Structure 1
Amino acid sequence: MATLDPDNINAVFKAYDVRGTVPDQIDDELAAATGRAFVQVLGADRIVIGYDMRPSSPTLAAAYAKGANEAGADVVLIGLCSTDELYFASGSLGLPGVMFTASHNPAKYNGIKQCRAYAAPVGMESGLAEIRDLVLQGSPLAEVKTGTVTEQEVLEDYVDHLLSLAPVQGRPLKVVADAGNGMAGLTAPAVFAKLPGIELIPLYFELDGDFPNHEANPIEAHNLVDLQAKVRETGADIGLAFDGDADRCFLVDERGELVSPSTLTALIATRELKKAPGAAVIHNLITSRAVPEIVREHGGNPVRTRVGHSFIKATMAETDAVFGGEHSGHFYFRDFWRADSGMLAALHGLAALAEADVPLSELLAPYERYPLSGEINSTVADAPAILAELEATYRARDGVTVDHLDGLSVSTPDWAFNVRSSNTEPLLRLNVEGKDRATMEQVRDEALAIITKGL
């Protein structure tokens, strides 16, 4: 019963998912209670559930399904899948969806990502608070019937749908993909089997939720080392790095250099704007200022939003945006039910490269305008105090603009940075860019000195 303690429930219900350590914060009892509450808050009579390769995921998913059944809902269980495959199931079946994963977090974590039918978001502002409150109160069992569980395979349909959205045609390519022992180890072989002329070199495709090679978190540079080395060693045209549930993808060019997710956002935006001229394109507040510039240059309407998939999806719905990109490596597509898909982003990169006669670094050069620090994470004891000190330091300076859309954003014509708290870990995340590398590094070092003072 410890996991149903109010303090624990409040701790694991985050801004847009449920996440914590297993079994002390998340166990079968919490999963079942959340399943009952989800069904009752949404008024659902049928839902679809999938799960990743973490050892605890199948049993947690089964417990959630039992709770959903007790609330009167039938369950379609699609088994092992990536998060974007779950979104595909939710969209194609028209059902609310539930994914058991902790994404990029270490092996001791697990979590629950939930969505309404057609992959519409469930975050604190769109239903998750009500689900949490019902778990706190204790949701009653259904009076009419107990639901059933049926199994369904959707992988092949998912692959066909992705390839219809971003067909890869043109010159042969050699591709290294690092699944990090995560769910891309299941989805990538299925996708690449239908890409003739593309040679796939797999890294860590064995599904293993203990992550024996490296954490499946490509935003951390040390987790890309093996991929970068393999790209250089094999003379590959491109490298792909997926996170644990494969809803994010990072690219590495033919030199083994990391491609900024902002650069990939700009590239995909130009491709999607060809399909939908004049459409809105969403970018979050830590994306490079090059993104809105390029969107405008290609006739689109850039719209800035907070970090996080529920905020991105809600803003896409409001603006009917064709595409959305986050600097964290999440990419959202209107024709994929506004959901994020690491594999679809990868296919856009492969398609653009296959159509070009130049290496990836040269293809992307026009989209890279400002040096970026990348995300720098610092464990801190008092995030609000640090944010207040940063704001006081910079607000007094001439030409500085400050806003609080998400954390603290500070900008001038020559540089900008954002500092925000993590939704899942005790971290402050710093992202900096400047008109040139010297400017970026100067601002980065000054801001980081304030963040880390006294640590």
Structure 2
Amino acid sequence: MLRGPVYIGDYAKVEAGAEIREHTVVGSNVVVKSGAFLHKAVVHDNVYIGPQSNLRGCVIGKNTDIMRAARIEDGAVIGDECLVGEESIVQGNVRVYPFKTVEAGAFVNTSVIWESRGQAHLFGTRGVSGILNVEITPEVVVRLAGAYATTLKKGATVTTARDHSRGARALKRAVISALQASAIDVRDLENVPLPVARQQTARGSAGGIMIRTSPGVPDSVDIMFFDERGADLSQAGQRKLDRVYARQEYRRAFPGEIGDLHFPSSVFDSYTGSLLRNVDTTGIAESGLKVVIDASNGSAGLVLPSLLGRLGVDSLTINPGLDESRPTESADTRRSGLVRLGEIVASARAAFGVRFDPVGERLSLVDERGRIVEDDRALLVLLDLVAAERRSGSVALPVTTTRIAEQVAAYHGTQVEWTTTSPDDLTRVGREETTIFGGDGRGGFIVPEFSSVFDGTAAFVRLVGLVARTQLTLSQIDARIPRAHVLRRDLATPWAVKGLVMRRVVEAAGDRHVDTTDGVRVVEADGRWVMVLPDPSEAVTHLWAEGPDDASAQALLDEWSSVVDSAGH
């Protein structure tokens, strides 16, 4: 909505749902996202104004980024090339000098002149993430890839890959040229599922880089760094990369040392061949199972042709084509996709349906009646199947998983090894000899006999084999597992008080049992528990609680939310 008089410059983009009120000046090449509100604001060229942000009577210098839900009040002036983080508040008449960062959730009431209030970490939970061409530009990507190359030996090989979006395609080219210019040989897989990129990286590369659209956020990208085993870069590796990037000490090759670029062939055949050699597929061909597979227009569909024929299962594949305009999906599209899949499964009388995420890393299930098996239930169903067949060994699960998983594992003579919520910790346990299964309860499954990382395709093959051999339907297995009641809540917490929050939680726990595998988990005498975990990359604290029913879990969340809030005020 525009209400004049306003001035809007050339090539500016104002999304539907933004409100620009009288006496506002918007320069050229400015992006104003949906839900933003501007009144009497003067915005110079090349500024990004995020969704739900609120600017009144302020001046914003050129090339500055105002992130989601930031509030800038009357009389404030933000200099050139600044970054104002999500949900931060800059009070009236405050001056933020050029090249400064105001961190997410900060409340700024004095001018920021010398010190930058930025966060020091490049890495979030999924690698380096940010809005395409706002936070993650080709220049940033070249510097990142140069820093990564500098941590490796000259002449080493790095495998690169991407999802099917245009942004990832453009940025991967920047990665490749930066790596070659730093004396690194590159094996470029182009568009492949994430598990295939990891597996190929583990075949003789010093590391890998995958660029993909952030799940559920179509205008953001994640740059994921892999180690020589194809797993996410360890915390130590991330810190090393962080250091080189911050100091900008890049190693450049001499002209005679520029790296080579290869495009390996038959990547999918070697992946499926290795998968079928390592995962038990006995009984599938004889079972006459019929399954429906939704490739959700993503790269998982690229592996299916070479897999399904050799698997010997009667299958129907829907949405196999790549759609570069939809490299990720919102929760709503995912949900409606699952509902549609359920209808097809029920009418085709199939044993079950699976739906891959766009990069083939995660898997969602629909039972034979066409009902959606929620992600946390799907974890228990697969756990039950694997444990019943193996009857020994251990299962890797994050500490936020329902304790019913312990009952299911123990019933079949296996035990649970609890890990932190970070995927690299699950991967570490997934590599251990005794591990028979791993999962995160959000559609990520580890099939240790094949690889120690999340792999949707491997989980699918494992599931088909298990169902073929047990002769039970998914709804029968689901029905014999008790219901779990784990609830989750996220609270905004300024960076400055994160340490204080954890101290408060430990104090409030008193003499109750406290587990500090990850964050702080407080266990009540009757087995109810709550877990408080500060987010490593955002100004947020996550809470999980489990009780015998939803109401008791909700009560626990309320009780501990007030403990967390009290530290923030």
User: Would you call these one fold, judging by a TM-score over 0.5?
Assistant: yes
Which TM-score applies when normalising by structure 2? 0.68
Name 2:513's counterpart in structure 1.
401
Are positions 1:39 and 2:154 aligned together?
no
Query: Which of 303, 311, 318 is the equivalent residue of 1:187?
Result: 303
What CA distance in whole angstroms lies between the structure 2 residues aligned with 1:361 and 1:91? 37
Of 155-164 and 87-96, the range deviating more from structure 2? 87-96
Higher mean alpha-carbon deviation, 225-234 vs 18-27, is at: 225-234
CA spacing shift, 1:382–1:198, aligned 2, 3 Å: farther
Which residue of the partner structure matches residue 334 of structure 1? Answer: 448
Where does residue 288 of structure 2 map in the other structure?
A: 172
Greater alpha carbon shift after TM alignment, 436-445 vs 142-151: 436-445
Shift of 1:78: 0.8
The CA deviation at 1:238 is: 1.5
Which of 208, 223, 231 in structure 1 is aligned with 2:323?
208
- Compare 258-267 and 90-99 and name the one that shifted more: 258-267
Q: 1:160 and 2:160 equivalent? A: no
Which residue in 2 is equivalent to 1:20? 130
The correspondence of residues 37-436 of structure 1 with structure 2, limited to 5 A, is 37-43=147-153, 45-123=156-234, 125-138=235-248, 139-143=250-254, 145-153=257-265, 154-164=267-277, 165-167=279-281, 168-203=284-319, 205-211=320-326, 215=329, 224-266=338-380, 268-269=382-383, 278-317=392-431, 321-366=435-480, 368-373=481-486, 376=488, 378=490, 380=492, 382=494, 400-412=512-524, 413-422=526-535, 429-436=542-549
Displacement after TM superposition at 1:452 (Å)? 9.9
Structure 1: state its 5+ residue gaps.
Answer: none
- Once residues 350 and 499 of structure 2 are traced to their aligned partners in structure 1, the CA distance between those partners, rounded to angstroms, is 43
> Structure 2 counterpart of 1:312, which letter?
L
Q: Distance in 2 between matches of 1:422 and 1:396?
A: 20
Q: CA deviation at 1:23?
A: 0.9
- Call closer, same or farther: CA 1:189–1:427 in 2, change over 3 Å: farther
- Contact between 2:394 and 2:434, CA under 8 Å: does it hold in 1? yes
* CA distance 1:407–1:230, change in 2 (3 Å): farther
Alignment deviations for residues 400-442 of structure 1 (CA, whole Å, 9 cap, x no partner): 4344433443333343343445556665544443334554455
Q: Structure 2 CA distance, aligned partners of 1:56 and 1:175?
A: 34
Indicate the structure whose relative CO is greater, using CA pairs within 8 Å and at least 6 residues apart.
1
For residue 347 of structure 1, what is the amino acid of its counterpart? V
Letter in 1 for 2:261: V
Instruction: Give the AA of the match of 2:215.
Output: H
Unaligned segments of structure 2, at least 5 residues: 1-62, 64-80, 84-98, 102-117
Contact 1:103–1:243 (CA under 8 A) maintained in structure 2:
no
CA–CA distance in structure 2, aligned partners of residues 129 and 430 of structure 1: 26
Kindly, what percent of the aligned residue pairs are identical?
21
Q: How many angstroms apart in 2 are the aligned matches of 1:201 and 1:145?
A: 46
Q: Name the CA shift for 1:239/1:425 in 2 (closer, same or farther; >3 Å).
A: farther
Shift of 1:221: 5.1
Task: Return the index of the structure with the highest Cα Rg.
Answer: 2
22-31 vs 427-436, greater mean Cα deviation: 427-436
Q: How far is the alpha carbon of 1:113 from its aligned partner?
A: 1.4
TM-score by length of 1: 0.83
For the Cα contact (< 8 Å) 1:228–1:257, is it kept in 2? yes
The one-letter code sitting in structure 2 at the alignment partner of 1:184 is A
Structure 1 residue 231 displacement after superposition? 3.4
CA distance in 1 between counterparts of 2:326 and 2:484 reads 32
